Amino acid sequence: MSTAKSHQLHVFFLPMMAPGHTIPMIDIARQFARNGAKATIISTPLNASHFSQTIERDRENGLEISITLIEFPCQEAGLPEGCENLSSTTTLEMSLTFYRAMDLLQQPVEKLLRENHPDAIVAGLFFWWADDVARNLGVPRLQFNGTGFFPMCIYNALRAHKPYENVDSEYEEFVVPGLPDEVKLTRRKLPEETKDEDKSPFAETVRKILLSQSKSLGIIMNSFYELEPAYARHYREVIGRKAWHVGPVSLFNKSNEGKAHRGMENSSGDDNCLSWLNSKKPNSVVYVCFGSMAIFSAAQLLEIAKGLESSGQEFIWVVREKTKDERSVDWLPDGFESRIQGRGLIINGWAPQVLILEHEAVGGFITHCGWNSVLEGVAAGVPMVTWPLSAEQFFNEKLVTEILKMGTPVGAQEWTKRTDDHREPIKGDDIEKAVVKLMVGEEGERMRIRARELGDMAKRAVEKGGSSDADLKSLMEEIRSYHL
């Protein structure tokens, strides 16, 4: 029989089919392999095509990592052919069907695991059934949901105390009780499934996820201790759940090639974008990107264009094709493109975000506060204009602006489902003001200094012996000892 030390761990990774979940989980799987484990990623043909070359390169370099394909049940669930990623869903109905399709993966995944006898399975939070599958096989399940300690602590406090029930309006602020800091929110900023659980079409899924949380071994966080120490402790000691912080996982990618091919193929060509940035002065460019899921109205895109133009700052603006309102082509002001020539670069589609953020010309980031984007901005030491939209992004905004003090809000007030953007657009004037505050003047400089300090801490955390490196190794030990 092999001893605990000599046994090579074999871990299966099942990422949720959305870029903000898949991208960091692939980074984690690869880091397990670099640390001597055998890693197998379960994915579907279209999703895997985005990272299969990266995994192939890892194998050529001697890592024991591979992809095992399962079919995504589009037809069975009633989704259009090729709709294998949540980011391809454009209506609430489609998103709900997508979640049902993910439930149908239970059987094929269980079959795969039975055939392969792994030591553990790391599965996205939405695979609420993964704990039962793991238990049947006698192996631990670890959760990964692509967010951090701070938002998880907020969710927990809201669920436990329901402070949003004691206010008279959607606008009245309340304090989230029991947290290390005073964090104020309004009902308008809360996810529907949190404040109006019974009305939410996701209520049933949320209930199943919460139930599964108590059965899993613990959660892997894409975070580092020094970023949110009070919340890392609160989560473990007060809420009492096991967690391992291993991030920022984007920093596991050392080469430019690795950073550029994280996620999807880029639309602009990395060279085009980098040579444009190379021609700019340090800290002179604002990078504008709202992640992989956001759907904006044409009216909002128009206001962004106005705000960027009148800010007088240089910018890279990522506009995903799908975010454009197909009914209207007038989402740019007349003559905008010729006026901003040389000063602004519009990327239609997918940008090499980590490469851009790390470029010395980039001095600010307008972000929707998706957790990955926040961590990538932190890791690159770039201060932010925060513009939360949905999911837990309004919580993340609080961390960036009030706790870390490395960002300024654009003034977004209202959470909506990503497929249902009925909000009033944020005005160009407000965008201009926030950008100027960040890029020009003393307050922006203070945020930049703070961001750099955090960026240095982030880099140290993933170095050998750093807090995240140590936690990753202790997680691997925990999986080993589970089997002893």
**Residue (of 309, 252, 348) closest to 435 by Cα position:** 309
Q: How far is the CB of 405 from ligand UDP (least distance, A)?
A: 20
In three-state secondary structure terms, 350 is coil
Q: Give the pair of three-digit tokens for residue 15.
A: 């990422």
Q: How many CB atoms lie within 10 A of CB 64?
A: 15
Q: Which of 14, 16, 17, 23 binds ligand UDP (CB under 6 A)?
A: 23
C-alpha to C-alpha distance for 34 and 55, rounded to whole angstroms: 12
Does the footprint of ligand UDP cover residue 372 (CB under 6 A)? yes
Number of residues that bind ligand UDP (CB under 6 A): 18
3-state helix, strand, coil in the chain (%, to 5): 50, 15, 40
Q: Is residue 353 within 8 Å of residue 370, measured between CB atoms?
A: no
Q: How far is the CB of 146 from ligand UDP (least distance, A)?
A: 6
C-alpha to C-alpha distance for 356 and 24, rounded to whole angstroms: 17
Q: Which of 292, 313, 386, 401 binds ligand UDP (CB under 6 A)?
A: 292
Between 164 and 290, CB nearer to ligand UDP: 290
Scanning 169-177, 324-332, 364-372, 421-429 for contacts with ligand UDP by CB under 6 A, the matching segment is 364-372
Instruction: For the segment 97-126, give every residue that binds ligand UDP (CB under 6 A).
Output: none
Q: How far is the CB of 414 from ligand UDP (least distance, A)?
A: 17
In three-state secondary structure terms, 342 is coil
Does the footprint of ligand UDP cover residue 20 (CB under 6 A)? yes
Does the footprint of ligand UDP cover residue 40 (CB under 6 A)? no
Scanning 107-115, 171-179, 291-299, 451-459 for contacts with ligand UDP by CB under 6 A, the matching segment is 291-299
C-alpha to C-alpha distance for 418 and 192, rounded to whole angstroms: 12
User: Which residues have C-beta within 8 Å of that of residue 344, sequence separation ≥ 6?
Assistant: 308, 309, 314, 315, 316, 317
Q: Which of 14, 289, 305, 340 binds ligand UDP (CB under 6 A)?
A: 289
Binding to ligand UDP by CB under 6 A, coded x per residue (else -) over 193-212, reads --------------------
Does the footprint of ligand UDP cover residue 319 (CB under 6 A)? no
Between 15 and 263, CB nearer to ligand UDP: 263
Binding to ligand UDP by CB under 6 A, coded x per residue (else -) over 53-92, reads ----------------------------------------
Contacts 24+ apart (CB under 8 A), 356-359: 356/273, 356/277, 356/287, 356/316, 357/287, 357/382, 358/259, 359/274, 359/277, 359/285
Q: Can you name the residues that pair with 11 across neighbouring β-strands?
A: 39, 120
Does the footprint of ligand UDP cover residue 351 (CB under 6 A)? yes
Q: Which of 51, 296, 350, 387 binds ligand UDP (CB under 6 A)?
A: 350
User: Which residues have C-beta within 8 Å of that of residue 78, sequence separation ≥ 6?
Assistant: 97
Scanning 52-60, 98-106, 110-118, 351-359 for contacts with ligand UDP by CB under 6 A, the matching segment is 351-359
C-alpha to C-alpha distance for 398 and 300, rounded to whole angstroms: 23
Between 318 and 462, CB nearer to ligand UDP: 318
Report the half-sphere exposure of 349 (CA within 13 A, side-chain side).
11
Between 276 and 371, CB nearer to ligand UDP: 371
Pairing of strands 362-367, 285-289: parallel
Between 164 and 350, CB nearer to ligand UDP: 350
User: Which residues have C-beta within 8 Å of that of residue 334, sequence separation ≥ 6?
Assistant: none
Does the footprint of ligand UDP cover residue 318 (CB under 6 A)? yes
Between 373 and 386, CB nearer to ligand UDP: 373
User: Which residues have C-beta within 8 Å of that of residue 104, sequence separation ≥ 6?
Assistant: 73, 76, 77
Q: Which of 14, 16, 19, 150 binds ligand UDP (CB under 6 A)?
A: 19
Q: How far is the CB of 269 from ligand UDP (least distance, A)?
A: 13
Q: How far is the CB of 436 from ligand UDP (least distance, A)?
A: 24
Instruction: For the segment 229-268, give every residue that binds ligand UDP (CB under 6 A).
Output: 263
Residues making contact with ligand UDP (CB under 6 A): 19-20, 23, 263, 289, 291-293, 318, 350-351, 353-354, 370-373, 376
